[in-house]
Structure 1
Amino acid sequence: MQHKKNIKEIVVVEGKTDSAKLKKLFNVNTIETNGLSLNKKTIHDIKKLSQKNGLILFLDPDGPGEKIRKKLIDIFPNSKNCFINKNDILSNSKKIGVAEASDESIYKAFDNIVTFNAINNSISWEEYLNLELDSKNKRISLCNKLNISYCNNKQLFKRLNMLNMSYYDIKNIIK
């Protein structure tokens, strides 16, 4: 039997099935947002639990998951982030979520944790526009290479700054 990896941070997930999936793969403490019904008590609990050990956001790669992530990043700007790609969801699944992802994609997500820094201005909007990330496919490709979830232009611009990426860093990645 494979030895489970310990994760010291508190991992925020959307639901009970996500927690169960992670606990099957890791020694980990999770807290659930119960989907979009993220309330003040849950936010208080996340704050209290994460003070000692830190925080990892691991949310579904769908609209509601991205809304929750955006809200939590605003509250906890130094949190770590794990991402799975919609393509990592098991093909027989009706839902798009952490619980429906393959074990391998979850291990990969934890091997590629991303930390955003909210105060960076590493790339200007003008430089961003010069990268010509105007097509969805170009943004998907860049997001996949950075191990972050797909997002629109405005959100990608914000995340690239939070990752402290310069115009030239990004230009080299998209070559």
Structure 2
Amino acid sequence: MIKEIIVVEGKDDTTAVKRSVEAETIETGGSAINKEVLKRIRLAQERRGVIVFTDPDHAGERIRKIISKEVPGCKHAFLTQEAATSRGDIGVENASAEAIRKALENVRTDYQSAEAQVSWEDLMDAGLIVHPQAAARRMLVGKALGIGYCNGKQFYNRCRMFQISQEEFLEACRPFIEEEGTHL
């Protein structure tokens, strides 16, 4: 059984998580997360720890940001958009049991006060921002690092928040850096 309580968006997500692992969940009820839910999440964090496991879309990212701001120190699990998509619908409820287990095995802890390990210049040098293939590269690197896909600014913030080391970052960038013959 997973010790932490997993925060998901809705009932279908709870069903998907429980068919994949033995765990308890708190449902946010979607992106309109209220004070009562935040209070339960805060209590869960104090007593057992929390893993935030939201959909890899805009609404899921909004929920993740709200929880991170209101309840510091949470762990985060991420699914790729491809692993969470079925018939054009994106959500945790669409992921396979294997994808859910893998995401929960690769959780990251939110360290908001940490000094940046990866710089904005590192992202530019790797072509993750201001590059014709930046979005595709962020998707690949985000998947390799287990921090999910997001825009350039959010990607930078996630690298800081989850204390991604230079070594981890370079390893994740290696496939396309070697392909181009460039060095970081």
Q: Does structure 1 residue 36 correspond to structure 2 residue 31?
A: yes
* C-alpha distance 24-127 of structure 1, shift in aligned 2 (>3 A): closer
Partner Cα distance (2:50, 2:25) in 1? 10
Q: Which residue is equivalent to 2:135?
A: 136
> 1:74 deviation in Å?
1.6
Equivalence for 2:63: 68
Asked if 1 retains the 8 angstrom alpha-carbon contact of 2:144 and 2:172, the reply is: yes
Residue pair 1:128, 1:167 contacting (<8 A) in 2 also:
no
After TM superposition, give the deviation of residue 132 of structure 1 in Å: 2.6
Question: Percentage identity across aligned positions?
Answer: 36
Shift of 1:90: 5.4
Q: What SS is found at the alignment partner of 2:56?
A: coil
Secondary structure class of the residue paired with 2:82: helix
Q: 2:92 aligns with which of 80, 83, 98?
A: 98
Q: TM-score, normalised by structure 1?
A: 0.88
State the partner residue of 2:171: 172
Aligned: 1:45 with 2:33: no
Give 1:171's aligned amino acid. Answer: L
| 1:34-64 alpha-carbon deviations (Å, 9 max, x no partner) | 1011011110111112211000000011110
Q: Report the Cα distance in structure 2 between the residues aligned to 1:114 and 1:21, rounded to whole angstroms.
A: 21
Q: Which has the higher strand share?
A: 1
Question: In 2, Cα distance between the equivalents of 1:168 and 1:25?
Answer: 32
For 1:19, the equivalent position in structure 2 comes to 14
Partner SS, residue 132 of structure 1 = coil
**Cα displacement (A) at 1:168:** 4.9
Q: Is the 8 A contact 2:118 2:169 kept in 1?
A: no
Following the alignment from structure 1 to structure 2, what is the Cα–Cα distance between the partners of residues 97 and 120?
30
Provide closer, same or farther for how the CA distance between residues 94 and 140 of structure 1 changes in structure 2, counting only shifts above 3 A: closer
Deviation at 1:120, TM superposition (A): 1.7
Counterpart of 2:3 in structure 1 is: 8
The Cα RMSD (Å) is: 1.7
Aligned-partner residue type, residue 142 of structure 1 = V
Structure 2 counterpart of 1:112, from 106, 111, 121: 106
Q: Unpaired segments of 5 or more residues in structure 1?
A: 1-5
